[in-house]
Amino acid sequence: MKNLLVLIALLFLGKMNAQNDEGVIRYLITHNWTKKMAAVDYISKQQKERQAYMWGNRSEWKSYCNMYFTATETKYEESEEQAEPDDEGYSWKKDLYFVKRNFANRSIMEGMELADKKYIIEDSLRYQNWKILNDMKEVAGHICMNASWEDTLKKQKIIAWFALDMPLQGGPERLCGLPGMILEAIYNDGAMTVSADKIEQKKLTTELAPPKKLKGKKVTESAYFAVLKAYIDEKTKEERPYFWGMRY
């Protein structure tokens, strides 16, 4: 009860003190391939060790994503800015990916790529079933509280840190629905970490508009999840990592 009262008080102060609820957040995404493999429970220990040996000291890869936000909308997408130098001449194909949320009319629009097929998801907005925890820490200059959620489809345990002084329901990737902006999310003990490293308050113009000339099969969220489950089931039978052909 004490923690709940503290949370309510801090959120109230956040609403009173928030000067600007519009701008852009840059998130640094760190992928750890060794930890991703370790979290896959249907692959043998020998395969995991082989993968860990292959990656060696280059098990991490970093990139940036931007989230544009207002009091009622967010759009999250990959950034043109690079977090890593060019990888020795390799060319990485940029997948279709964006996540757009409208909290006022409770709608979503997303562009996803799964096994080289493109999907445009349009549906009603649904939140994750979060469990608010007791810890606090600073992320990008904001005091945050943590919450947990388990994605049973992808078998991911997620710890999210949401800002007590940013009373907005948005977040990176597909995460949302906490009583403050999610500034950090840790998947499967660091298999992937998404952390805000720069927050700029500014007036937006066209940043929240969906990408132009969208190509892909239009589906509902449940229809996309059905395709995703079939893909994960297929990779499980093959004893191959499901995350190679999709966003983690």
Quote the CA–CA distance of 192 and 156 in Å, as a whole number. Answer: 10
Q: What is the pTM of this model?
A: 0.88
Helix (H, G, I), strand (E, B) or coil at 36: helix
Quote the CA–CA distance of 25 and 40 in Å, as a whole number. Answer: 31
What mean pLDDT value characterizes the chain? 88
Backbone angles phi, psi at 213, to 5 degrees: 55, 50
CA distances (Å), 38 to each of 49, 115, 119, 191, 198, in order? 9, 22, 29, 8, 30
Quote the CA–CA distance of 108 and 112 in Å, as a whole number. Answer: 13
Quote the CA–CA distance of 202 and 88 in Å, as a whole number. Answer: 36
pLDDT tens digits, one per residue of 78-112: 999 988 876 554 445 678 999 999 999 999 999 99
**pLDDT classification of 218: cutoffs 50, 70, 90:** very high
Q: Where are the alpha helices (DSSP H) in 169-246?
A: 221-238
Question: For 108-129, b where at least 16 C-beta lie within 10 A, e where not — what string?
Answer: bbbbbbbeeeebbbebebeebe
Give the per-residue pLDDT at 5.
Answer: 45
pLDDT tens digits, one per residue of 111-163: 999 999 999 999 999 999 999 999 999 999 999 999 999 999 999 999 999 99
Residue 6 has pLDDT above 60, yes or no: no
